[in-house]
Structure 1
Amino acid sequence: MTSPTQPEPPALVAATAMFIEVLVVGIGALTAAVLLLVALIGPATTAKLAPLAGSSAAAGVALAAAYALGIPIDRAADTALTPHRRRLRTRFFPSNTAYAQARLRLADFPVLAARADYARSRMRICRGWTLNTLALTLTADLAMLRYSFEHRPLILGATTALGAATAFGFYRAWRSLTTTGYRKLAEQTVPATIPPVPVPSQPGTTPP
């Protein structure tokens, strides 16, 4: 039997998934922060500090920093996209109360709830990486401006174009996942309205 103090498996799985989501988003944020640092300190200092990056201590600090950065980046991305998310939700739910009630009804179906959680996990990653990609593009451009190499304008232009396209791709994926999630939630929890079946009139009687 499971001890009362031992976490239930669904809660443990949800916590693990949330940790992974934050870490995946935080890795992108940490990479952008490192690129910004490279742009600020310049090539000479970067070359001196490069050997430290391969140490075990640096790896541990990087993992912790990635998780810590993932939290504010996720919140910032959510705040930025909240107005658009609310507009998408009103296409399927007329009010916040209707949406909350649908979420509660979905909890009665564990299989459907697990699928919805998986879809929301992908949505949150796409949401965070929409912001991450923009930050990576900007910091990569700034870092390259500190170095001299051949065809720098061409590479800068290609990096900027690729970054903008990737950010738009993550945004489109977030929008598609969000819309599909609301639509499926409405279909699975909102009872369909069945039109009344007309009763045929008997011969010799007047329809009411």
Structure 2
Amino acid sequence: MAATSMFVEVLVVGIGFLTGLGVLTAAIAGPDNTRQLAPAAATPLAAGAALAFAYALGILIDRAADTVLAPVRRRLRARSFPNSSAYAQARLRLAEIPALAARADYARSRLRICRGWMLNTILLTLATDLALWRYPVEHRSLLLATATVLGTLATVGFYLAWHTITATGYRKLAAQTAPAAAQTVPSQPPAPAPQTP
């Protein structure tokens, strides 16, 4: 089940990036060349190759996004864990609690989608702006401004969502796997000595 979920996450990220590459390619090629290339792109063979390429791209973009955000991720983790060893031990303890582990997996799934789409929206925004510049469209300035603003808001939104999910995940992991506080039993007065008749 976890493997299927990760496959879908990677594919979702990869399809978004491949779409951005497609828009960028069309923008660079221009209207005439795009019309000539469109029939070849509509074949089943091209669709199958695109799906496989999207999956491979998803892996690449996920790793790239993780690398870009690594300094921020390390700072967020340091707020809840003193070192990497403590974090690794907490992950191992969490794996022993299936219900909590399933919730953590779901949070990591959302996290991967957000960080991947943060990069996707940057590419899509730039590609859309270039396409609007190259193709004959009405109200170009308005469309460029709208695409840029919406793309920027989406990028910031995905980053903030990733930041919140990451910080919350570390905080919950630390709380859920903290060693239980030793319970002190109040001292009892000694039992009275038995009465001798």
TM-score scaled by length of structure 1 = 0.85
The answer to whether structure 1 residue 34 and structure 2 residue 30 are counterparts is no
For 1:115-171, what per-residue CA distance to the aligned partner results, in whole angstroms no more than 9, with x for missing partners?
Answer: 111110110000100111011101111111111211101100110000000111111
Would you say 1:170 and 2:174 are equivalent positions?
Answer: no
User: Structure 1 vs Structure 2: percent identity of aligned residues?
Assistant: 64
Q: Distance in 1 between matches of 2:107 and 2:137?
A: 43
Q: State which drifts further: 189-198 or 82-91.
A: 189-198
Letter in 2 for 1:101: Q
The match for 1:90 is: 78
Letter in 2 for 1:47: R
TM-score, reference length from structure 2: 0.90
Q: Which residue of 1 aligns with 2:138?
A: 150
Structure 1 residue 187 corresponds to structure 2 residue 179: no
CA distance, structure 2, for counterparts of residue 174 and residue 41 of structure 1:
34
In the other structure, the counterpart of 2:65 is: 77
Query: What residue in structure 1 maps to residue 116 of structure 2?
Result: 128
Runs of 4+ in 1 over 6 A off after TM superposition: 194-199
Residues 111, 198 of structure 1: CA spacing in aligned structure 2 closer, same or farther, 3 A cutoff?
closer
Distance 2:111 2:182 in 1: 33
Displacement of 1:101 in angstroms is 0.4
Gaps of 5+ in 1: 1-12, 200-208
Alignment partners' CA distance in 2, 1:197 and 1:131:
55
* Structure whose alpha-carbon radius of gyration is higher: 2
Question: Do residues 51 (structure 1) and 39 (structure 2) align?
Answer: yes
Label 1:197 to 1:153 Cα distance change in 2 as closer, same or farther (>3 A).
farther
Cα displacement (A) at 1:106:
0.7
In structure 2, distance between residues paired with 1:83 and 1:184: 20
Matched letter for residue 8 of structure 2: I
Q: Which residue of 1 aligns with 2:192?
A: none
Shift of 1:114: 1.2
In structure 2, list runs of 5 or more residues that go unmatched: 188-197
Alignment partners' CA distance in 1, 2:181 and 2:79: 17
Q: Which of the residues 107, 116, 121 maps onto 2:104?
A: 116
